[in-house]
Amino acid sequence: MTPSSLPLAAARRRAAGVTLIELMVVLSVMAILMAVATPDLISTSVMQRSKSRSEELQAALRLARSEAVKRNAQVTVCASANGTDCNAEDWANGWIVLAGTTVVQHWPASRQAIGITEASGLTSLNFTGSGTAGQSATFVLCSTSTPQWAGYQISQALAGSSRLSRRTGSCEAETPSS
């Protein structure tokens, strides 16, 4: 080798890539970071699905109240498995807003494992033409796949307003066993 080719040969050796040890260190660090982050990602995903479904139910309650005032007639929100009439016992099967016999809007069952219970067992809720609810209601929405995490709660007041809040504690007591 000539003296002028030595720096070029050394540069080629340095630019050849990473060593096996360096690669193993990087993979180990990535594996540790993934193991730490995965439970948080799952928890966040479960809570987001529960919140999204809670917001859908609250939107149905608000729509029913609005339609009742607009039509000056009774409008019902009820559990519905088929989307055409009030035929379900479980809100998780979906629900509809019904003005007389007309379906105003239908929310089908969620593909996510979200359980919905109403504290007193209501399967329908009526709103009068003045916008008041026929009775107060409390809906609890929880993930059925991970009941140890808190879910969401919708409180429907007699005056017609509803409030969505995050529950504290777990949903294990409210989650039906599969």
The answer to whether residue 8 scores a pLDDT higher than 90 is: no
The answer to whether residue 107 scores a pLDDT higher than 70 is: yes
Please check whether residue 61 is in contact with residue 154, taking contact to mean a CB–CB distance below 8 angstroms. yes
Please check whether residue 124 is in contact with residue 79, taking contact to mean a CB–CB distance below 8 angstroms. yes
The answer to whether residue 5 scores a pLDDT higher than 60 is: no
- Neighbour count for residue 167 (Cβ, 10 Å): 16
Q: What percent of the chain has pLDDT over 70?
A: 80
**Reported confidence tier of residue 74, pLDDT bands at 50, 70, 90:** very high
Please check whether residue 53 is in contact with residue 85, taking contact to mean a CB–CB distance below 8 angstroms. no
- For residue 44, what pLDDT is reported? 73
**Highest mean pLDDT out of 27-36, 48-57, 62-71, 134-143:** 62-71
- For residue 175, what pLDDT is reported? 45
**Reported confidence tier of residue 138, pLDDT bands at 50, 70, 90:** very high
- For residue 61, what pLDDT is reported? 97
Does the domain made of 18-166 have the CATH classification 3.40.470.10? no
Range in 25-29, 78-82, 126-130, 168-172 with the lowest mean pLDDT: 168-172
Model pLDDT for residues 21-55, shown as the tens digit of each residue? 888 899 999 888 877 766 666 667 777 888 899 99
* Whole-prediction pTM: 0.74
**Burial of 71 per CB tally in 10 Å (0-12, 13-18, 19+):** middle
Domain ranges across the chain: 18-166
